[in-house]
Chains A and B, each alone.
Chain A
Amino acid sequence: MKMVRDCPQAKWFPSRHRFALFRLLALIRLRLSEPPKMDVDHLLLAIDPDQSAAEHYIITLWIIITLTCYFASMVAWPIAFLIAATVIQAGIVVGGLVVRGATSEIHSKRNSFFLMTAIVATSVYFAMQTSPARYAAWFFLAMVSLNALAWLILRILRNTVRELEAQCAS
């Protein structure tokens, strides 16, 4: 794994984010805002797509709210929340067992794809219903589309990203 030393602006490197939308936002922030100041003696930052705390907390929260909205179209809100939390846990275990390969034990990427596909499929289903949950589903699908658009933009800007990230030598 690539690490950068004493370069606080690396916190906003797009490659430290998982989803294209967040990578694009990170790029905008990196270009427009002042570089953060060093407030410690030394800093060692990992260049890994799962490094952004804000991104992962937002996504988690968004997924749980979306699923709660879906279940709330069938049961009361508090119960819907509990079902959503349980379904996610069960989905992870079931997904983990289903996608576990014979050769590799590290299957979080495949499980990620499995779970995201399941959530998108569920959203498509609810988007076609007449219940108010369809608004949550439309919003979810809109965000997925926006993420695809951000991916395209980043493809076009990939050289800019590379140059910006090269400012911190590893």
Chain B
Amino acid sequence: MTGWWRRFLVRGVFWRQFLRFGAVSVPAWIEPMVMAVWSLLFLLWGPGRRGVMRNLKAIIPGSNGVTNFFRCYRVFWNYAWTMTDNLHFKELGAVPDWEFVGWQHFEAMQASGGAILLTAHMGSYDLGAHLFAETSGKRIVMIRAPEVDPQTHAFEEAHRVNALKIEFNVKATDLALDLLHAIREGGIIAIQGDRVTPGISDLPATLFGKPTRLPAGPFALAMSTGAPIHPVFVVRKGRRLYRLVSRAPIRVAATRNRDEAFAAAVAEWTFELEDVIRSWWYQWFMFEDFAS
């Protein structure tokens, strides 16, 4: 589809351009009001709203639809701020405040050879990666799903910060060798491990009591390289304030019984993921129903 109107769809490029215009035009002292209005407007995005509300029902057992509607607004509000903070960093060089929790695990990751940084669609993945790239001497490769809309993809590519190497998770086999090399050379691979992109190999998992699929890539990489998986989450704590939460590393045993080793590692990962999402449900930017 190449219709001109596609740019105005929810994932279309118009909104990214408009957001960028806003980030460089809106004075900071009126930003909260702008965020409040736009978060409200994005409640009109039916599929996203329903996805978030369904996920909230699983995260917060016994929660009702009306309360989850307002919770959904809080998710959109946080998402709007996160996107804006990311743009402020890119366009204005504005850095938020950072709190670090679980620093010993973060240091261990930096001190280790190659490692896999496994995170979720929470807070600002981009800002966290930029902070890491600025403070660490290590090479970091971010793996992310490409934008659905080609124009949006091109726009994001044109405005990305050069300090980071970003690879797009299009086909699992395309990247595998590059990532293996990067880890063996002591680099860090950052992957979001809470959502599967179509065409990517996955593993079965249980999240909040519901069956789901999680990306197999990080676990396969960890098994083949012996590198630890470090669960790291970037959580938005407030206006221009983020918390980097590092958890104990997960090791994937290199055994003949791959399925068992993967299942054990996935269970450890989902334990950490559930714990963080339960505490900061309003930061989990999962706009589709996570249950498979």
Contact = CB atoms under 8 A, between A and B. Distances in A.
A joins B in a complex: yes
Contacts of B22: 92, 96
Nearest to A6: B100
A89 B103 contact: no
A97 B215 CA distance: 44
Given A43-B99, A51-B240, A59 B26 contact: no
Q: Pick the most buried of B98, B241, B243: most chain A CB atoms within 10 A of its CB.
A: B98
Contact of A44 (B21, B93, B97): B97
B211 interface: no
Interface residues of A, number: 40
Given A41-B100, A95-B25, A108-B26, A57 B239 contact: yes
A46 B25 contact: no
B102 interface: yes
Interface string A97-121: 0001000011111011001100000
B27 interface: yes
Contacts of A63: 29-30, 33
Nearest to B18: A93
B24 interface: yes
B30 A43 contact: no
B27 A88 contact: no
A46 B100 contact: no
Interface string A8-23: 0000000000110000
A56 B97 contact: no
Interface string A42-69: 1111101011010111011101100000
A85 interface: yes
Contact of B243 (A40, A57, A105, A116): A40
Contacts of A45: 97
Most buried by A among B30, B103, B239: B30
A169 to B, nearest CB: 17
Contacts of A106: 24, 91-92
A63 B21 CA distance: 22
B95 A1 contact: yes
Interface in B93-127: 93-104
A88 B103 contact: no
Given A41-B102, A60-B33, A92-B22, A112 B27 contact: yes
A3 interface: yes
A114 B26 CA distance: 11
Contact of A43 (B25, B31, B37, B100): B100
Contacts of A100: 25
B32 A57 contact: yes
Contacts of A92: 22, 25-27, 30, 34
A23 to B, nearest CB: 13
Of the candidates A41, A43, A64, A111, the one having the most CB atoms from chain B within 10 angstroms of its own CB is: A41
Contacts of A41: 100-104
Contact of B28 (A42, A43, A56, A89): A56
Given A59-B29, A64-B33, A53 B238 contact: yes
Select the residue from A57, A108, A115 with max chain B CB neighbours within 10 A: A108
Interface of B: 21-22, 24-34, 37, 91-104, 238-241, 243
Given A46-B96, A55-B29, 10 more contacts: A43-B98, A59-B30, A60-B32, A88-B30, A88-B33, A109-B27, A111-B25, A112-B28, A115-B27, A115-B30
11 contacts: A1-B94, A40-B99, A43-B99, A44-B97, A46-B94, A60-B29, A63-B33, A93-B25, A96-B22, A106-B24, A108-B26
Interface of A: 1, 3, 18-19, 40-46, 48, 50-51, 53, 55-57, 59-61, 63-64, 85, 88-89, 92-93, 95-96, 100, 105-109, 111-112, 115-116
